[in-house]
Structure 1
Amino acid sequence: MNATVAISFVACTVLVAVISWYKTRSVNLRSVSGLFLAGKNNNYLVVAGSLLLTNLSANQFIGENESVYVNNLSVMAWGVTSVVAMLLVSEFLLPVYFKGGMVTTPDFLADRYDEGTKRLVSIIFLLSYMVNLLPPVLYGGAVAMTGMFDLPTWFGVSYWQCIWIMVWILGLVGSIYTIVGGLKAITISDTVLGGGLLIIGICLPWFALKTLGNGNIVGGLTALLTKHTTHLNAIGSATDAVPFSTLFTGMLLVNIYYWGMEQYIVQQVLVAKNLAHAQKGMAFAAVGKLVTPVLINLPGLIAVHLYPSIENTASVFSVLAAHVLPSVLLGLTAALVFGAAMTTYNAGLHGSSTLFVLNIYKPYQAKRSHVTTDGELVRVGKRFEIAVSLLAMFTAPFILFAHSGFYTYLQKVSGLFSIPIFTIVVIGFLTKRVPPSAAKAGLLFFMVSYFTCQYVLDISLHFLHVLAILFGATSLLMLAIGRRWPMQRHQTAEFVPDVVGLAPWKRRHWASLLLILAMLSLYVVFSKWGVAT
């Protein structure tokens, strides 16, 4: 690692931190609203930036490029088809959240079912973050930084030891950033990093294509489009990482859950100044999801041509960036990957704290007739963040021994937690007859069944199809319980006066149409009717 790379990395990282501090210096971080809700005053650009950067992490840089390198472009479906889910969430879920004045996603479940369901789902959320969000984010960031800087050589340690070192550096920096800055600092840094990602999204493919074309970018593009064209196919077969059929089953369910119910994502939208800004921010973030394949997937495609036999496929992105980028841009890229890992980690850590403090600790103290103050809740939240962060730092390095591909591992484990919650939320929206006991039974049935199908029985069906089948089975179970023992007292969300503004964005339907057409165009281009001939 030369001095220019190091200076560029440090300068960019410090700049983001300084801007975040400057923009948050007036926020009262000793109050629940200031620490957990960022004052509920973010405009649509901040919402869009924080959504996009919270979604983007080193996991995608590492995992999706690995999948493209090993399989083909079918993995882009995770990002591109998110557009449909984001539009559905914007149109149907966000108005409910804003009307109900909700702070966490399980708040809806308390209104629809009961406090017990809300508490149970909050615990499942926390388990999901501790198992399948925070440790993988640290691991992905460690892999990326290790590859770009060739840190084992620089530190004089083994690859395994270097992963441990980087996991702890990322974890400690992320913890301090979250505990000191709160949600406002996270959203501001997301917006700043968004501009940097746009720069790298253009520069990395440019220099990689020039390298592929021996200094001629047109030659590189020609080679990319005429050789190894099977990798350009986004219409996945049954043997690919993402079969095309799963776009209409489990993937749609997972994406709706992620953008509309995942606490650390939804929290970025709920801090918008009003519903119109929230919907507009979601639409701008959807535009970002359509262009991110240039950054997330194109490097893997180019690596197929430049490095036909990489042994550690998880290092594809890092190897390419270190090989083709000038030192200044490599430092900037490393800073952005570092920042992307941090923003997702910070948001997950902050979401965990919010869920624990507001949905578990505060109600527990209320039952004991103890009146909690803002200062007490803030202190408990910060201590909880420290404990969760330490757990993530101790467990993250062991992901190195996962047998399946990194990104497939993440998505498969995620289904254990996400779709059961998605199921009871959907049924809660569709009918008022289903009682709280059905929601609890549905959660237990889904999680046990999915775990059995994936880790006990040898089922050849793709895990996304399994998720869709279990969603249907669990829905039928809950409806059957509701028919036999219908809910006698209908819970309804209490209407909150128009404090934040409940008027929807007037141009959202035109924006939705353009986004859907753009998504379909991408699939036509990257298919046998387009460049994947």
Structure 2
Amino acid sequence: MLALVTFVGFTGFVAAVSYWKTKDDKMDSSDAYFLGGRSLTAWVIAGSLMLTNLSTEHLVGLNADAFNHTIAVMAWETTAALAMVVTALYFLPRYLKSGLTTIPEYLANRFDEQTRVIASLLFLFSYVIAILPVVLLFGAAGLESLFNVSETFGISQNEATWIMVWGVGTLGSLYAIFGGLKAVAISDTVNGVGFLIAGLLVPALALIMVGDGDMLAGLTEVYREERPKFDITGDEPGSFLPFGVLFTGMIVNQIFFWCTNQSIIQRALGAKNLAEGQKGVLIAACFKLVGPFVIVLPGVIAYHMFKDTLGPEDYLMAYPMLVKAVLPDALVGFFAAVMVGAVLSTFNSVLNSSATLFSQGIYKLFVKPDAGGQALVRSGRYCSIALALAAMAFAPLIDTSGSLFNYLQKINATFFGPMLAVILLGMTTRYVSAFAAKMGMIIGPIVFYLLVFACGDSVQAFVQSLLGTNEEIHFLHFLALVFVVTTGLMLLVSKIRPAKQAYEQVYTKDVDITPWPHAVKAGAAISIVTILFYVLLAQ
């Protein structure tokens, strides 16, 4: 009963704060609905960035990988901090200077409207096929493993999955459909505080248990007895994240995801000015450096506590077992509310971004070119409803026999490399043509699909024989290869069919782009701390 009270209490508190902060806002313009009226401050941006990214796939999935392998998987978090520094110092000033609402809008300015449409469709496709349904399914699976929802209510696991998918999906949709970006960002921020508190409580309580009341003694024991697990460069066979990918596809993945991905960068595009945007992104980068203590360290602690009872094949149960072992009954409801909040934060954020892409890049161009603010908002809401229903219907049908995390990352990687090549060449060159950009966005994903999916086994066999190895070549290496191939293709095509005139960026003056005076220093400090992780933990 206490668990139910704390669950409803925290969930209701998040909803109440979101309503209170947005009740007087008028959602009658595209800026108000899609960008929060360009009024977001640093802490709201930081909280929304963190919760848009983090969810149960990180808590359960990456902790599970740390249980089976080493803390090398923390690279998903630490290298993200470096990419976010690049966002704050290089990409965001250019985005805000153009007064953008979406990344495809930049491509329209730089190349042409056809390039914008292709980019919008690629973003929407990846969101609909991968992120939206998988986030819901991950959330349902995580809640089931953590709290035995089916057993508690006396129903089958399949029935519990349907109930949780539709429950979380409906709740997340309400924020995105009726509140717009500002409601999403505020709910993310409040949930983010809860996520950080709950996430840090688990390893702290576990170490206290290991150390018989002394957290430092517990950490010392875990480090001493599981020393190989703390090798941040650990590259054992079969690792989910080999160290070598940090210098190939991980760079491409992180720069795309944190610098150019619509569902992420839209929070920064809603900043009241560049200084607030830069502070928000850099604060979120600091949170990413805390991330390993929440989504990696518990996996190592779980290995120390359960290695004799939990086999490698049951690694996904590592984090749920740890939570059940250390969490007091009074905190179970709060922890469940935080988990639900993390899932719906990712879901409603991606849903809001999808609506933005549709209304700005599809509806306004093809359906109603003269659409005003209210018509665009209305089309965005209709799009959100349709996508939410489709995601909730499709999520329980996804095959869960394989790795959902790998499925999500591979689907996204199909578009990451080519899209990043197009955006980077658009920013760093003046004569790469619109025709070359369209070629890159169409051919690049096809090449990745052939290398990793359609002809994956044959390609693996050929590359393994070429390199003289029996180990599987990680898909992030192919991501880097496709990025290079797409870049080369675009440069070659632009030589044959160059742009008719050089691109010049126009300052729209929609946002004050005076930079935060301490942005460079803060970015340098974050970069140094990230590098120190690898220097101090390398074995």
Deviation readout 1:182-219 (Å, 9 max, x if unpaired): 11111111221222233223321121112334544344
Query: What is the CA distance between 1:238 and its match in structure 2?
Result: 6.1
Query: What is the CA distance between 1:366 and its match in structure 2?
Result: 4.6
Note the residue ranges of structure 1 that are not aligned, 5 or more in a row: 529-533
Structure 2 residue aligned with 1:9: 7
Q: Which moved more, 1:64-73 or 1:310-319?
A: 310-319
Query: What is the CA distance between 1:314 and its match in structure 2?
Result: 2.7
| 2:489 aligned partner, one-letter code | L
Q: Which moved more, 1:5-14 or 1:27-36?
A: 27-36
Does the Cα contact within 8 Å between 2:69 and 2:236 map onto a contact in 1?
no
| 1:206 aligned partner, one-letter code | A
Give the whole-Å Cα distance in 1 for the aligned partners of 2:115 and 2:475. Answer: 26
Does the Cα contact within 8 Å between 2:207 and 2:301 map onto a contact in 1?
yes
| 1:509 aligned partner, one-letter code | V
| 1:272 aligned partner, one-letter code | A
Secondary structure at the aligned position of 1:422 is classed as helix
| 1:504 aligned partner, one-letter code | P
Structure 2 residue aligned with 1:33: 31
Structure 2 residue aligned with 1:103: 101
Does the Cα contact within 8 Å between 1:175 and 1:385 map onto a contact in 2?
yes
Structure 1 residue aligned with 2:199: 201
**Are positions 1:523 and 2:534 aligned together?**
yes
Q: 1:332 aligns with which of 312, 325, 334?
A: 334
Q: Which moved more, 1:266-275 or 1:158-167?
A: 158-167
Give the whole-Å Cα distance in 1 for the aligned partners of 2:314 and 2:360. Answer: 43
Give the whole-Å Cα distance in 1 for the aligned partners of 2:167 and 2:153. Answer: 14
**Are positions 1:323 and 2:325 aligned together?**
yes
Give the whole-Å Cα distance in 2 for the aligned partners of 1:206 and 1:286. Answer: 22
Give the whole-Å Cα distance in 1 for the aligned partners of 2:419 and 2:372. Answer: 30
Does the Cα contact within 8 Å between 2:89 and 2:520 map onto a contact in 1?
no
| 1:438 aligned partner, one-letter code | A
Deviation readout 1:328-348 (Å, 9 max, x if unpaired): 222222111111111110000
Does the Cα contact within 8 Å between 1:59 and 1:136 map onto a contact in 2?
no
Give the whole-Å Cα distance in 2 for the aligned partners of 1:401 and 1:390. Answer: 20
| 2:141 aligned partner, one-letter code | V
| Aligned ranges 1:49-198 → 2 under 5 Å | 49-198=47-196
Give the whole-Å Cα distance in 2 for the aligned partners of 1:144 and 1:164. Answer: 13
Query: What is the CA distance between 1:16 and its match in structure 2?
Result: 0.8
Does the Cα contact within 8 Å between 1:73 and 1:231 map onto a contact in 2?
yes
Does the Cα contact within 8 Å between 1:212 and 1:305 map onto a contact in 2?
no
Give the whole-Å Cα distance in 2 for the aligned partners of 1:366 and 1:406. Answer: 38
Secondary structure at the aligned position of 2:456 is classed as coil
Identity rate, percent: 37
Give the whole-Å Cα distance in 2 for the aligned partners of 1:183 and 1:257. Answer: 21
Structure 1 residue aligned with 2:243: 244
* Number of positions where the alignment pairs a residue of Structure 1 with one of Structure 2: 521
Query: What is the CA distance between 1:400 and its match in structure 2?
Result: 4.8
Structure 2 residue aligned with 1:531: none
Note the residue ranges of structure 2 that are not aligned, 5 or more in a row: 461-471
Q: TM-score, normalised by structure 1?
A: 0.94
Structure 1 residue aligned with 2:285: 286
Structure 1 residue aligned with 2:513: 502
Give the whole-Å Cα distance in 1 for the aligned partners of 2:223 and 2:25. Answer: 50
Give the whole-Å Cα distance in 2 for the aligned partners of 1:485 and 1:218. Answer: 64
* Residue 320 to residue 17, structure 1, CA distance change in 2 (3 Å): same
Deviation readout 1:43-76 (Å, 9 max, x if unpaired): 1111111111211112211221121112211111
Give the whole-Å Cα distance in 2 for the aligned partners of 1:313 and 1:391. Answer: 31
* Residue 6 to residue 378, structure 1, CA distance change in 2 (3 Å): same
Does the Cα contact within 8 Å between 2:252 and 2:416 map onto a contact in 1?
no
| 1:193 aligned partner, one-letter code | N
Q: 1:461 aligns with which of 473, 481, 487?
A: 473
Q: Which moved more, 1:79-88 or 1:156-165?
A: 156-165
RMSD of the TM alignment (CA)?
Answer: 1.7
| Aligned ranges 1:360-439 → 2 under 5 Å | 360-366=362-368, 371-403=370-402, 405-439=403-437
Secondary structure at the aligned position of 1:121 is classed as helix
Give the whole-Å Cα distance in 2 for the aligned partners of 1:223 and 1:149. Answer: 29
Does the Cα contact within 8 Å between 1:67 and 1:407 map onto a contact in 2?
no
Query: What is the CA distance between 1:433 and its match in structure 2?
Result: 2.1
Give the whole-Å Cα distance in 1 for the aligned partners of 2:404 and 2:225. Answer: 26
Q: TM-score, normalised by structure 2?
A: 0.93
Structure 2 residue aligned with 1:483: 495
Does the Cα contact within 8 Å between 1:74 and 1:241 map onto a contact in 2?
no
| Aligned ranges 1:232-271 → 2 under 5 Å | 232-237=230-235, 239=237, 240-271=239-270
Give the whole-Å Cα distance in 2 for the aligned partners of 1:476 and 1:402. Answer: 38
Q: Which moved more, 1:11-20 or 1:185-194?
A: 185-194
Secondary structure at the aligned position of 1:472 is classed as helix
| 1:412 aligned partner, one-letter code | K
* Residue 120 to residue 402, structure 1, CA distance change in 2 (3 Å): farther
Give the whole-Å Cα distance in 2 for the aligned partners of 1:40 and 1:186. Answer: 14
